[in-house]
Amino acid sequence: MQGFANFMWLLSLALILFSGFALLDAAVRREDAYRAADKKTKPFWLIILGLAFVVNLIFNILSFLPIIGLIATIVYMVDVRPALRQVMGKGGGRRGSSSDGPYGPYNGGR
């Protein structure tokens, strides 16, 4: 039984870290990027992800509330975050050259 308890503790810790990362990522993105990507607003996502983080801190993983928080965090990470990164540029603010391809700069076959 101790092995299962350790596994559940690690899973809870992973959920806390995952939702915390999503919350911090949402906090550092620009407000206008959310509007440009047509993905609700920055305060909306900060509230949703903040609630998910707090729920993961308070409740046991076997409860349904952390699962709802996990779903919200996954939606942010797989839908909203890539759209924001695309609007803001590759690295969230880093600008590449107009000749950059998906694997780096294109040098014309040289």
Please indicate, yes or no, if residue 86 is contained in any of the structural domains: yes
Quick one: pLDDT at residue 104? 62
Please indicate, yes or no, if residue 84 is contained in any of the structural domains: yes
Please indicate, yes or no, if residue 104 is contained in any of the structural domains: no
Please indicate, yes or no, if residue 49 is contained in any of the structural domains: yes
Name the domain count of the chain: 1
Q: Give the distance between the most distant pair of CA atoms in the chain.
A: 62
Give the residue-averaged pLDDT of 52-80: 91
User: For a pLDDT cut of 90, what percent of the chain falls above it?
Assistant: 61
Contacts of 8 (CB under 8 A, 6+ apart): 60, 61, 62
Give the residue-averaged pLDDT of 27-47: 93
Give the residue-averaged pLDDT of 74-98: 78
Per-residue pLDDT band for 97 (boundaries 50, 70, 90) equals: low
Closest CA to 79 of 11, 9, 22, 17: 22
Please indicate, yes or no, if residue 107 is contained in any of the structural domains: no
- The domain of 71 spans 2-91
